[in-house]
Structure 1
């Protein structure tokens, strides 16, 4: 599991909406986060029950409202979308993996989705 923060403040210091892209790629769950029009974090988790639990903890650490875009590439991706969207106040967009397949592209999609 690895997440790289690209800004100095911790996630809890963000007051605006955070846009997160999530893509299942092979044996990884890839994640990218955007705020204020730029990528602020990216990383990956194992595509397993433990990795999903770690991802859910990571998402909980953000103290701002979340908009999530999840690439739909099979039943596992749909299950992941349901899991990450379970918390109150989160918006989740299911996006065709054929259209947007990278976590960064998905985060940009969440940023611009209406």
Structure 2
């Protein structure tokens, strides 16, 4: 069950890292960070502010996205789902990925 977890979708889109955050079935935050080392550091800081278990769904459309997924999943208490961007012809939005993270597996 995901009632006690924050669910976050992360998508690397162009020059941005797009993020959507859901809790209790509702989107509670969204934002973007610049793709690159500074944006990754800002994203890691954003994730560190949540003092609760997390489920993260990260679209993996390339090596940079895979590296990002590995970076965000390092701390204990985080479940990370790698979502292949090649499973569909559309680009995943961060909000879609956050909903995916909410689903029980």
Secondary structure of 1:64's counterpart equals coil
Deviations 1:32-72 (A, max 9, x none): 00000010000000001000000000000001101000001
Q: TM-score, normalised by structure 1?
A: 0.84
Post-superposition offset of 1:16: 2.1
Secondary structure of 1:68's counterpart equals strand
Matches of 1:90 and 1:51, distance apart in 2: 20
Large movers: runs of 4+ above 3 Å: none
Secondary structure of 2:17's counterpart equals strand
Counterpart position of 1:107: 98
Counterpart position of 1:45: 33
Map 1:50-65; keep pairs closer than 5 Å: 50-65=38-53
Unaligned regions of 5+ residues in structure 2, if any?
none
Unaligned regions of 5+ residues in structure 1, if any?
1-14
Counterpart position of 2:61: 73
Counterpart position of 2:77: 89
Map 1:11-50; keep pairs closer than 5 Å: 16-50=4-38
Mean CA deviation greater in 91-100 or 49-58: 91-100
Secondary structure of 1:24's counterpart equals strand
